[in-house]
Amino acid sequence: MGDGPIMLNQLNQKHEMIRSTVREFAETEIKPIAGALENEAVFSVELTHAMGDIGLFGMVVPEAYGGQGLDYLAYIIAVEEIARIDGSQAATVAAGNSLGINPLLYFGTEKQKQKYLPDLCKGKTLMGFGLTEPDAGSDAGASRTRAKKDGDDWIINGSKMFITNSATPISKGTIVQTNTGASANGKPEHTCFVVENGTPGFSAVSMKNKMMWRASNTAELYFEDCRVPGDAILGNVGDGFKQMLHTLDGGRLSIAAMGLGCAQGAYEAALHYAQNRKQFGKPLTKHQVVAFKLADMHTQIEMARTFLYQTCRLRDSNQPFAKEAAMSKLYCSEVAKSVTDEAVQIHGGYGLCKEYAVERFYRDQRLLQIGEGTSEMLKLVISRAIGC
């Protein structure tokens, strides 16, 4: 039927087992309720806990901190399989790992790791990553949220927006990038803090009426003389921008996986529809114009998968991968755009109705060309990496 990837990527038995396990979970636990959660724009605590129970959070975290101790490719395969069914739940998993857990794992103090990682890895709690602001999107270095030292504490003022996982009933807090003055060369100095929900002066408000990922949580964050202790600093003062860039490199792979999974889900839905829908006395798949569309879709998906997996292997072998991460995210998001558009076209009028999954895939893919670096910014990153 063509509903699985061809094995150009030579996955090992563990990777295949992870794909099979996550696919079965997504088919049986997420698919039956995805439409209802999306229509009602409801974040599901129960489903998040269930995803935690099967190990979808903290996949690359060492077992000593409650994680699975797997490689990054295993994690990316898991995100891909969730996105194949539902972008909202994939967003919860991707942000929970790449933006919530990984900064603590790579930059947190031992005390912070011991305090936060075990529950985050079990899916009992979630952590956001506060970077984007109303006037600082692609220009993340223009952050206006400021932290000022006051004795042993810091006082934070400012706001963030479009922050995933920060305002759920199980959100523990948010890692917040702030401006803490100027460095020796006169450039803005950025520092990240772990700010827990419930801290006086900090509020996280869920954003409503989204076009896509309606069953995931997106929040606006407000800081009004929010006082945090010195041990809330992630790493060291002034390391925030470096931490942000490292986090985005890994996060781009998870967004690429979401694009890949979204494209795969839309392609499978279109193929199934075309095999069963008859026009002019024969299935749509027997009409060359439709068959060629499906062939193009399948080719794009397999090329995207091959490059994304190879980029994950670069990361897993500790080789430079920033350029390839940008390329993967750019290409996979553009493939999702192309494939979902053709999937709707193949469905005709039915593709515009919520009863058909391609309608949701079509909306969900639109953020993929914006989040974790817009397509335009990624082209800038790539062009600089090749010497332009």
Active site residues: 372
Residue that the structure tokens 């409503």 belong to: 208
CA distance 266 to 344: 8
Residue that the structure tokens 């980029």 belong to: 311
Cβ partners under 8 Å of residue 242, min gap 6: none
Q: Is 74 left (phi over 0), alpha (psi -120 to 50) or beta?
A: alpha
What letter does residue 235 receive in the DSSP assignment? S
CB contact at 8 A, 210 and 41: yes
List the structure tokens of 353: 């109705």
Pairing of strands 171-182, 126-130: parallel
Cβ partners under 8 Å of residue 89, min gap 6: 26, 30, 34, 47, 51, 82, 215, 216
